Chains A and B, each alone.
Chain A
Amino acid sequence: MQSPAEIVQHSGGVIGVSWLMIALPLLGAAILLLGGRRTNKWGHFLGVAMSLGAFVVAVLSFVELTGLDPDQRRRAFELFEFIPGMVNMGMLIDPLSISFALLITGVGSLIHIYSIGYMSHDRDRRRFFAYLNLFVAAMLLLVLSDNYVGLFIGWEGVGLASYLLIGFWQHKPSAATAAQKAFIVNRVGDFGLLIGIFTIWTTFGSLAFADLTQQVTGQASEGTLTAIGLLLLLGACGKSAQLPLQSWLLDAMEGPTPVSALIHAATMVTAGVYLVVRSGAFFEQAPTAQLVVTIVGVATLLAGAIIGCAKDDIKKGLAGSTMSQIGYMMLGAGLGPAGYAFAIGHLITHGFFKANMFLGAGSVMHAMNDEVDMRRYGALFPVMKVTAVTFIIGYLAIIGFPMLSGYYTKEGIIETAMEHNAILGWLAVLGAGLTGFYMSRMIFMTFFGKKRWADDAHPHESPAVMTWPLVILSIGSIGLGAFLILGNRFMNFLSPAVGLPQELPETHVFGFGPAALATLALVAAGAALAWFRYGAAEVPAVAPRGSFLTTFARRDLYGDALNEALLMRPGQWLTRIAVFFDNRGVDGLVNGLAAGIGGTSGRLRRVQNGYVRSYALSILFGAAAVVGALLYVGNM
């Protein structure tokens, strides 16, 4: 077992200006937002340029980093003092963060380019690009910060960008609601992350990754470490749509499709995985927390898959799939150094193939007048070949078709899990089978079978600005997995940042292990089932009433219903009661006191009845009282 390398404070070279990665898109966002309508004409080009600029910086940093000795590959440097005595803002460039940076800027740039075409008819395209740039900046801040506060700022920054982009078509109430829901559910996770950060601070007196080495965290009790781990996991669950905070992701599909591709598939939702891997120093010494991470991962990968099986909305189907795939990553991240490389590897390949498919779905929608119901698709293969082919490549990658990207990374996770805990492993295999089913279902319903188009639909291939990104992404979907996993290339690359397991796993071009074969078999079975039900058979244009299980899946496993019953309704009641209590109780007391004095006054003044004789009486009584009192006091 090899621990991560020490973080070196060094601010030279290209890495020294790596903050440009964040600054460029941020600047882009600022210019586009503040510039207003004047920038409408060229705004989208600026957005793309800024994103590409960040990509260039990322690539250069990556090149510089790989040129260093492995134990020198974790570089941090301070930018400015943020909260004196607590936090200095700084960059951390290490294999883990640069991997993310490459993914974010790379895929991000492609999606920027794609969006030029996709959003060309939207009058607010400039604003869209501003938000995209803002997202890229925040996401980079999240992964490049050298401390938890910077991470948290980025964390919430992507949340904001996500909120803005989900609600981009805010005039649609559903979009506005979805945006709000995403933000609020994420806040629940953020709450956990926040408390986790507090605990780290009070326990260790620092929030910088450089200080929080395993030697340092080892000094704390396991209970504390478990607590930290679970709190961070809560944060991760929110951002990565893991159970029990998964409900927002499906609604988030209200946003424009490039947003779904970039934020809710490729990058932002994987931030939770990043957090868990980055916080390895805590998790690795808290087995309970790790176990919970794996359980959450498995539960979500199954839940997402089940949801994906029943969705007719192509984007929601993909969203369920995203949930499921992140579940895999989470599972991998919970397995310690042995799983990190596969988790991050899967994250990267997923970034490619899922973005590929989302953009493909966007291309389909673009062609079908924004229709999202797959029951209204069918037989699209001939009319949009590029989209279909790239989509199918992504599909093959995700179901783990041998030799394609997903095959290696997913297999890696399943194998590692199997070694770790057989039950988890077999459940993960089951998930892979489900993936085979629902993804095949999607392909058959969309591209094959009979036309079920709306009357006014005239599908056509999308413009080059949209198809080229698809092509590039599909290339990644094909080859990236093999490149990363074979020979443990990625594991070795990441090792300075996350450490290495005791023994490196063996990697094969094609695995013959029982798990690998079982996975393949189940996937094939799933695909076959899908073929029988959706390829060969007629697909009804209106969803038939399904069995209980179908309804269960269609309704997102009753997640929303549960939220509504457990949180929203009691919350509404609580709010009503609190408002009532405030008006009648607290304020009522104040006003009641005033009214009481007023009432007393009103009654007492009647005593002043205008008769001089009663005044005299009061004087007499008063005199008697005074005499009595004085005699009493005097004789005491």
Chain B
Amino acid sequence: MTTHYLVLSALLFAIGGVGVLVRRNAIVVFMCVELMLNACNLAFVTFARQHGNLDGQLIAFFVMVVAAAEVVIGLAIIVMIFRTRRSASVDNANLLKY
């Protein structure tokens, strides 16, 4: 039963992961990361159900808070670089290499 949720969670995680790899826009990349975090949340909640304890559900809340904090920081950084470069493409920022 819970397996489906887990598969879904894994799929979401994979989609997020692939999204990070294929998308250029920093915001979208970041959203994909958020998707990965949410996949984790789904997994936590599923496992909480499976184990019959509430820890997983509790954790999901923590993760949400952390994700929110990450958004705050992340958007600040992305906006900063967007203002500088007039572009949100992550591929544009490659001065640091080799």
Contacts and interface: CB of A to CB of B under 8 A. Distances in A.
Interface of A: 605-606, 608-613, 616-617, 620
A550 B95 CA distance: 86
A611 B91 CA distance: 6
B72 to A, nearest CB: 20
A613 B91 contact: yes
B73 interface: no
Contact of A613 (B90, B96, B97, B98): B90
A609 B94 CA distance: 8
B80 interface: no
Given A608-B98, A611-B90, A617-B21, 16 more contacts: A605-B98, A606-B98, A609-B94, A610-B94, A610-B96, A610-B98, A611-B94, A611-B97, A612-B29, A613-B21, A613-B24, A613-B90, A616-B20, A616-B21, A620-B17, A620-B21
Contact of A609 (B17, B24, B97): B97
Contacts of B29: 612-613
Contacts of A605: 98
Nearest to B17: A620
Interface in B47-98: 90-91, 93-98
Nearest to B18: A620
Nearest to A602: B98
18 contacts: A609-B94, A610-B93, A610-B95, A610-B96, A610-B98, A611-B90, A611-B91, A611-B94, A611-B97, A612-B94, A613-B20, A613-B21, A613-B22, A613-B24, A613-B90, A613-B91, A616-B21, A617-B21
A623 to B, nearest CB: 9
Nearest to A616: B20
Given A605-B98, A606-B98, A612 B90 contact: yes
Interface string B4-45: 000000000000010011101000010000000000000000
Nearest to B95: A610
Top 6 closest A-B pairs, CB basis? A610-B97, A610-B94, A605-B98, A612-B90, A616-B20, A611-B94
Nearest to A614: B21
Contacts of B97: 608-611
Contacts of A613: 20-22, 24, 29, 90-91
A277 to B, nearest CB: 81
A106 B96 CA distance: 91
Nearest to A607: B98
Contacts, number: 33
A337 B34 CA distance: 111
B38 to A, nearest CB: 18
A345 B43 CA distance: 115
A611 B93 CA distance: 7
Contacts of B96: 610
B80 to A, nearest CB: 15
B73 to A, nearest CB: 16
Contacts of A620: 17, 21
A367 to B, nearest CB: 85
A606 B24 CA distance: 21
Contacts of A616: 20-21
B93 A612 contact: yes
A608 B94 CA distance: 10
A517 to B, nearest CB: 100
A617 B23 CA distance: 12
Nearest to A609: B97
Contacts of B94: 609-612
Nearest to B20: A616
Nearest to B97: A610
B26 to A, nearest CB: 9
A612 B91 CA distance: 7
A609 B93 CA distance: 11
A606 B94 CA distance: 13
A606 B21 CA distance: 19
Nearest to A623: B17
Contacts of A617: 21
Contacts of B22: 613
Contacts of B98: 605-606, 608-610
B85 to A, nearest CB: 14
Nearest to B92: A611
Contacts of B90: 611-613
Nearest to B33: A616
A604 to B, nearest CB: 10
Nearest to B94: A610
Contacts of B91: 611, 613
Contacts of B20: 613, 616
A390 B58 CA distance: 128
Contacts of B24: 613
Contacts of A611: 90-91, 94, 97
A144 B46 CA distance: 107
B32 to A, nearest CB: 10
Contacts of B93: 610, 612
A612 B90 CA distance: 7
A79 to B, nearest CB: 75
B69 to A, nearest CB: 21
A620 B19 CA distance: 12
A608 B91 CA distance: 13
A605 B93 CA distance: 18
A196 B20 CA distance: 83
Contacts of A612: 29, 90, 93-94
Contacts of B95: 610
Nearest to B96: A610
B33 to A, nearest CB: 10
Nearest to B98: A605
Nearest to B23: A613
A609 B17 CA distance: 20
Nearest to A604: B98
B84 to A, nearest CB: 16
